[in-house]
Amino acid sequence: MVEHSIISSVPPPAAYGPVPSAAQLRWHALEYYAFLHFTVNTFTDREWGIGDEDPAIFDPRQFDAASLVDVLRQAGMAGLIVTAKHHDGFCLWPSAYTSHCVRSSPYRNGRGDLVGELAAACHKRGLLFGVYLSPWDRHHAEYGRAAYLEYYRNQLRELLTAYGPIFEVWFDGANGGDGYYGGAREERRIDRSTYYRWPEIHQLVRGLQPQAIMFSDAGPDCRWVGNESGFGAETNWACLRLEGMYPGGEYGQRLTSGDADGTHWVPAEADVSIRPGWFYHQREDAQVKTVDQLLEIYYRSVGYGCNLLLNVPPDPRGRIHEVDAERLLAFRRALDATFSADLARDATVTAPQVRGGDPAYAANHLVDGRAETYWATDDGVTAAEAVVALPAVRTIDRVRLEEYVELGQRIEAFAVEAMVAGRWTCIGAGTTIGPRRIVRTARVRTDRVRLRITASRACPAVRRLGLYCAGEAG
């Protein structure tokens, strides 16, 4: 049973369906962080390396982890995930298991460790640090055979034991195909469902970094959103039926919308690059996403309950390009202009239905700013409403809602109404809420807003209702 933080004689609602772990709850709160695609591809102008690249080409002479991390921190990102090894097999740390790494490059005269420098800068500046280790390796001679599995796990152990806390370990689904493979230059195919023995890899990560979230098409902790546009789905269940799933499988719309009857809590992470490509290409300097494009991605990822993983690829200098940095900071300013002040924070909230009539579950918890409190109704009450009375007329066009997901995801449909000219007017509606939902509504001036839960699988438990206005409110 989930313990409610306020002493009450009325028991809390029973959990409904899968619920998030403590690590997943912390992950949900991050909302937005960076992907850093950086390797030999940055210097060959490719997206995917073949595996035959000479480490001598890797020479980011102006790389400074502290400066790079500062850009991401100023942009409001909670952390970063670095491509410690992409499909080309080149390693950004001096691995003991291969010479195909920074030790064989000119970077820091062969004594560099980009993974270590980034990890240290993140830990010092308050950002979380994560790693991507490509399961596919187009350089390694034993890829596709049993010996490669030992190599891969040894490298995973290096990354998970040498660089402090890891918040996310990223496994992608690109596995098998043509490559260098130690000079064989051939195509190698694997059975994606069995070759890597994923349960053993998951156990390895759990043992070394028990708080880390593992990403893949099949979780087990968070899932790919099913596209690389950064867009989640308006209906987004944070659960999946995991049985039989594996990284690289074909799951279609299930990854975007989740499974309403899912057996495990596996929320969506939306990944997208700030540029057309994942690695830096000079020809794309004029194609960096605009602030408006980034805002649309934000509302259709974070606003739909996903976490947003925004790729910001360093250039050959080893720096975030000036255009990308400027765009990130302008994006941050746009978000701050909208969300820095919650217009409902000093409101009074009432509801006809409160669980057991107990103040521990009162509707005013929607605006108290506390993560541990929530409004809930009696068991069996699956349609309910709460009215937010503002102290003065205010202009709004954004509504942020959050379920108390510690009890599972329950709500299937809701509507938001505003009192306009003496009448309740619907300004927005949707389906799922989950860990968060940001509704872009019609812009109205009002002193009362009503949240109507119109369908819920169990009695609703809602943590938060926030009101905002994009730009200056009149």
- pLDDT recorded at residue 3: 45
pLDDT at res. 473: 37
- Residue at a domain's end among 339, 371, 394: 339
Q: Are residues 320 and 367 in the same domain?
A: no
| pLDDT given for residue 8 in this prediction | 81
Could you tell me if 369 and 256 lie in one domain?
no
Same structural domain for residues 335 and 433?
A: no
- 301 and 412 share a domain? no
Q: Residue 6: inside a domain, yes or no?
A: no
Predicted pLDDT at 462? 98
Q: What is the pLDDT of residues 103-139, one digit of tens each?
A: 999 999 999 999 999 999 999 999 999 999 999 999 9
Q: What is the pLDDT of residue 172?
A: 93
Does 3 reside within a domain? Answer: no
- Asked if residue 18 belongs to a domain, the reply is no
Residues 196 and 220 in one domain: yes
Task: Based on the fold, state whether residues 171 and 79 are members of the same structural domain.
Answer: yes
Asked if residue 24 belongs to a domain, the reply is no
Shared-domain flag, residues 53 and 193: yes
Flag whether 96 is in a domain.
yes
Residue 474 in this model has a pLDDT that exceeds 90: no
Which of 2-6, 159-163, 399-403 shows the lowest per-residue confidence on average (mean pLDDT)?
A: 2-6
Together in a domain, 46 and 123: yes
- The 10s digit of each residue's pLDDT in 182-224 is 999 999 999 999 999 999 999 999 999 999 999 999 999 999 9
Is residue 14 one of the residues assigned to a domain? no
Average pLDDT over residues 39-57: 98
**Quick one: pLDDT at residue 6?**
63
Looking up residue 461, the CATH number of its domain turns out to be 2.60.120.260
**CATH number of the domain residue 39 falls in:** 3.20.20.80
Confidence of residue 5 (pLDDT cuts 50, 70, 90): low
303 and 376 both lie in a single domain: no
Q: Which of 306, 339, 372 is the last residue of a domain?
A: 339
Q: Give the position of tokens 């200098």.
A: 317
Is 171 inside any structural domain?
yes
Residue 228 has pLDDT above 80, yes or no: yes
At 149 the pLDDT is 98
295 has a pLDDT exceeding 90:
yes
Domain span at 391:
348-468
299 and 262 part of one domain = yes
Task: Give yes or no: residues 381 and 452 share one domain.
Answer: yes
Same domain membership, residue 447 and residue 378: yes
Q: How many domains does the chain have?
A: 2
Q: End of a domain among 284, 311, 339?
A: 339
Does this model's pTM top 0.75? My answer is yes
pLDDT at 208: 98
pLDDT band at 40 (very low <50, low <70, confident <90, very high): very high
User: Is residue 16 in some structural domain?
Assistant: no
